[in-house]
Structure 1
Amino acid sequence: MNKFKIFSLALVASASVVKAQDIKEAKKAIDAEQFQKAKSLLKSIIKAKPSDGEANFVLGNVYLNQSVVDSAKIYYLNGIEASEKKNLNYIGLGQLDLDNKNAAAAQANFALATKDMKRKDVDEFIYIGKAYTNSVNPDYNNAIASLKKALAIDPQNATALLAIGDAYYGANNQNEAYKAYRDAFTADPTLLRAKMQLGVLLKGAKSYDEAIKAFNEVIALNPNYGPVYRELAETYYKWGRNKPSTAKVNLQNAITNYEKYLSLTDYSLDSKMRHADFLILVKDYKSLETVANKMIAEDKVNPRIFRYLGYAAYENGNVDVAIKSLEDYIKVPTNKVIGSDYMYLGLAKIKKGTNAEGAVDQASFDAGIANIKKAVELEPLVVEELGDYGKELFGKKQWAQAAAIYELSSSNSESKNYLTDNVYYGIALYYANLDKKAASPEVAAALAKADAAFDRVLVASPSYDEAYLYKGRIGNLLEKEDQIVKNYETYVANITAKGAEELAKPATVKKIVEAYNSIGASYANTDKAKAVEYFNKTLVLDPTNAYATQSVKSLK
């Protein structure tokens, strides 16, 4: 009987060790971003031992990381019914509360998670800190406060040091983040993510060459650590984007490293979607279309594939497929729609509604603009992507349509293209209304918008003299004499101040002649002497100018 008891205890101890190894392996897989493997391991643990609250919690976290909120909540609720470490699952529910902007409910759940903690327990504080950091509505101050509690108990806890480094990084405290990551790696030299994050700090500071050196140090320690290749890929991408002369080589390096990352993680549908997201980032739409079609052959259920098909189809010139794919995605209420979804749908409809010959299907174009407005409501800085599309219409002299695009893209002062887009908006509006009757209220309103666009340009860039030229031209269309004189005179004064070299340029002479003739015409009905003076200035620059010659004769 005693031998049986000892044997039974040995079995229990053995099962406990196996379980500990499995959860450790699952956490290791999560760190390596092998999420499919982690889910498989955790589900095996839960199946063998439903009372394991920690396995439910960790699996819930994997699903939450992948934005599968319903599945995450199911495992957290299952975990609360478990008999071991069930309290951790209140932290998962607390993060869901934070994601829903319910801080009070989150704090209540965190209190339930910590109420029975023992004196030397730290895991709860660490996981609460991570929840505050990883929430879609992060609270870095509370994250840091919770993690400091863990470190007060166990100052060399590498997991806590890594987590507080992430919180400091989120809070833009680079110095404290660097110190925490360094200390985490010192405390546990096997914790490669901590060393990798030192490179992430350099990448964030745009020290791309130094970041790459740091990532290569991680690879030297373990060439099979997948996440470092993702970081390398993103670094090469950003380097290419910030330094166009390196773009071709660096974008290829980005793609190569991302493919290496995939080979070391897993080829699950989820990883293929991460790959698709990266292909969008590097604008490799041919590959995106190939990947999307492979995914839809593998899984016809996951709706996100329609997003990828839509983006790729638009960029590869198939607007009908783009429209259908994106409408199929957006129309499902449970799908998480982002600004880019509406933007691509809008651009596809605009492209369908315009052509190179200048014909416009106004209904399709207007529907596209409505979709782009929805995109801007969801993500205001999506306007940064619009300028190139407006320029395409501008180049085809589809002025009204270009102006409709630029009206949206020029509206956000935070956009990196704010100045340029306002210039194009003002010019497009000017030409769209050049041959229309200024007395029309619609035309007057459009020209007032153009004038306001150039005012914004002058605030952002006071030295942009062309703005005064266009404001003078708009004054001509509106027949506002004071606006004509004031703006053309300012233009001439500013150009004259640049010196003889600028004044000798034929293009500049032509614009000054335009200014003198416009000012002369403006004075013609009120001050004939002044009018003749300006027309004579034109004749000094252009002795054969027919308009100035005729005007001087008629005024004498």
Structure 2
Amino acid sequence: MKNAKVLSLMLSVLSTAVFAQDLEQAKKAIDAEQYDKAKKILKGLVKSSPDNGKNFFYLGDVYLREAKVDSASMIFNKGLAAKDKGTLNYIGLGQIELDNNKSAQANFDKASANIKKKDVEEMLLIAKAYINSENPDYKKAIEIINKAMLIDDKNPGAYLAMGDAQYGNKNAGEAFRAYESAYEYDKSLLIARVKYAAIQKGAKNFTDAAKLLNEVIAKDANFGPAYRELAETYYLWGSNEPAKYDEYVKKALQYYEKYMSLTGYSVESRMRHADFLIVNKDYKALEIEANEMKKLDKVNPRILRYLGYAAYENGNYAESSKAMSEFFAKVEPKRIIARDYLYLGLTKMAEAKKADGTYDEKIFNEGVVELNKAVEKDPVIAAELNPLGQKMFKEKLYKNATKLFEVAVKNPKSKNYFADNFYLGYALYFDYDPKTSPKDQLVKADAAFSKVIELNAATQDAHLFKARANEAMGTPESAKVALAGYEEYVKLVNAKGDAEKAKPAVKKNLIEAYTFVGAHYANSADKAKAIENLEKLLAIDPTNAYATKTLKALKA
């Protein structure tokens, strides 16, 4: 009996040690972004040790990282029944509450209700929930981590979490120090070095970031996140040094391929790669990657997003339309991003184009609605509409160009705001038909040219077209605005000298301007100004019949 008891105790201790070892392996796999490997280990632990709630918590956490909320929720709820540490799963459920913009406090209170005074595990996991949530609260996380550090000031996990929280709170200096401390207390914590390098990358210290990441690889050549971070570092490095762009982007793609090989070409790592390909605008590779992902996971709507984006950029508009329509039908509304609306709008516009080069206005307008949603959600996207608007303008599809530029100018901070207003004014003016167009079309054109002038008063063509739009309005008030516009145009051209005036297009515009100004003053009985402008008109156009005849009448 005595020997049996000893044997039983030894087996129990051995089983606990094996469990702890397996759980640590799962945690390391999570840090290494090897989610498929982590899930395999954790699923085995859940089956073999169902009384340990940690197994359930970490498995649910992996599902959360993969945005598989239903699976995560199911695992957390099952984990609540575990006798040992089952309450950890309230933390996972709490993070889901945070993701849904709800209070997680009740769940967090349940998780920490019976913890020992010197136990910081629950505190740190709650802090991480605040950090990792789709609606993060970094200040709350920092507050909780500081309390944990009062209990255990040498806990490497606490410093790692503090680094994440401080970085999220836009305090890079504090994040640096926290990641350094995490690594000092645990030299196996390579993710701390990777995150340290990520801050260097963000500060454009590309040489230091690459050096640090290569040091990580020297310690563990199979640590995937280091290669992912190297890929992103070299891409940004190349973007900041155009002469090396091709060389560095090639390196970046090689590092990303290595990252995917180390993470088992999982859907999650492929998605990170797909996000990188979007940033790099490598849409041919993106379409190949998306189709590979579709073979692995036929229900994940993010894959349809990638297919929709890539197919549009590669000119496969029908495929893009199919993918984007299916994406919007499947995705949770809260997961729709501005770029999704952008591509849905662009795809509709592409489909609206008919064989004769014109557009089906109904479908085109549906596309405009989606573009408006995109810019409302993320104003930065407005800057991307200029090339397409210019293309429509050059094809003399002025009405369509107008609608596109009306969306583009909704962001005054756009890098193309000046040009977008100019083209908006142009499109409105050239599309105007006195017989069919509403008068307010010219008012809108005037407003667009006025904005251009506000941004740069020396833009001579803005004054010219503002004058033309007001002349076309045909009211006494608009005639005065037209006069001022033509006079300012003349003034700006003359200030540039003879070379500018000698340009054929400019000479033609000057004739137009002097004719309007001369006629205006002749009709308003300002004889001196009329003669002055008509004589200038004759100087550049000696055979001008109107100037000759009117001057003769004025001098009679």
TM-score by length of 2: 0.91
CA contact (8 A) 2:287 2:306 kept: yes
In structure 2, the CA distance between the partners of 1:43 and 1:546, relative to structure 1 (3 Å rule), is farther
In structure 2, the CA distance between the partners of 1:50 and 1:418, relative to structure 1 (3 Å rule), is farther
Matches within 5 A, 1:229-378: 229-332=227-330, 334=332, 336-354=335-353, 358-378=357-377
Residue aligned with 1:267, SS: coil
Matches within 5 A, 1:69-218: 69-102=69-102, 105-218=103-216
Gaps in structure 1 of 5+ consecutive residues: none
Gaps in structure 2 of 5+ consecutive residues: none
Q: 1: CA distance between counterparts of 2:38 and 2:200? A: 30
CA contact (8 A) 2:230 2:255 kept: yes
Matches within 5 A, 1:433-452: 433=432, 436-437=433-434, 442-452=437-447
CA contact (8 A) 1:195 1:218 kept: yes
One-letter identity of the residue aligned with 2:397: Q
Q: 2: CA distance between counterparts of 1:553 and 1:209? A: 77
Match of 1:388 in 2: 387
Q: Work out whether 1:30 is the aligned partner of 2:22.
A: no
Q: 2: CA distance between counterparts of 1:52 and 1:482? A: 84
% identical aligned pairs: 47
Residue aligned with 1:224, SS: coil
One-letter identity of the residue aligned with 1:477: A
Q: 2: CA distance between counterparts of 1:181 and 1:498? A: 59
Offset of 1:108 from its aligned partner? Answer: 2.5
Which has the larger displacement, 370-379 or 82-91?
Answer: 370-379
TM-score by length of 1: 0.91
One-letter identity of the residue aligned with 1:43: K
Offset of 1:32 from its aligned partner? Answer: 0.6
Q: 1: CA distance between counterparts of 2:81 and 2:519? A: 87
One-letter identity of the residue aligned with 2:385: L
Q: 2: CA distance between counterparts of 1:326 and 1:273? A: 17
Q: 1: CA distance between counterparts of 2:297 and 2:336? A: 20
Q: 1: CA distance between counterparts of 2:243 and 2:445? A: 35
Deviations for 1:169-219, whole angstroms, at most 9, x for unmatched residues? Answer: 111112111221222222222222222222211222233344333333333
Deviations for 1:202-261, whole angstroms, at most 9, x for unmatched residues? Answer: 222233344333333333333322112212222233334455444333332322221111
One-letter identity of the residue aligned with 2:352: G
Deviations for 1:481-506, whole angstroms, at most 9, x for unmatched residues? Answer: 12112223334444555667766666
Q: 1: CA distance between counterparts of 2:162 and 2:457? A: 45
Residue aligned with 2:439, SS: helix
CA contact (8 A) 1:528 1:555 kept: no
Matches within 5 A, 1:506-521: 509-521=507-519
Match of 1:221 in 2: 219
Q: 1: CA distance between counterparts of 2:326 and 2:548? A: 65
Match of 2:423 in 1: 424
In structure 2, the CA distance between the partners of 1:407 and 1:267, relative to structure 1 (3 Å rule), is same
CA contact (8 A) 2:375 2:410 kept: no
Match of 1:534 in 2: 533
CA contact (8 A) 1:240 1:250 kept: yes
Offset of 1:33 from its aligned partner? Answer: 0.6
Q: 1: CA distance between counterparts of 2:423 and 2:89? A: 54
Which has the larger displacement, 394-403 or 451-460?
Answer: 451-460
Q: Work out whether 1:475 is the aligned partner of 2:470.
A: yes
One-letter identity of the residue aligned with 2:128: K
CA contact (8 A) 2:379 2:410 kept: no
Match of 1:42 in 2: 42
Residue aligned with 1:87, SS: helix
Q: Work out whether 1:453 is the aligned partner of 2:448.
A: yes
In structure 2, the CA distance between the partners of 1:88 and 1:555, relative to structure 1 (3 Å rule), is farther
Q: 2: CA distance between counterparts of 1:248 and 1:546? A: 61
Root mean square deviation of aligned Cα: 2.6
Offset of 1:27 from its aligned partner? Answer: 0.8
Q: 1: CA distance between counterparts of 2:255 and 2:522? A: 70
Count residues with an aligned counterpart. 550
Offset of 1:142 from its aligned partner? Answer: 0.8
Deviations for 1:98-139, whole angstroms, at most 9, x for unmatched residues? Answer: 22222xx21222222222222221122222222222211111
Deviations for 1:354-381, whole angstroms, at most 9, x for unmatched residues? Answer: 3685422222212222232333344443
Q: 2: CA distance between counterparts of 1:496 and 1:152? A: 75
One-letter identity of the residue aligned with 1:316: N
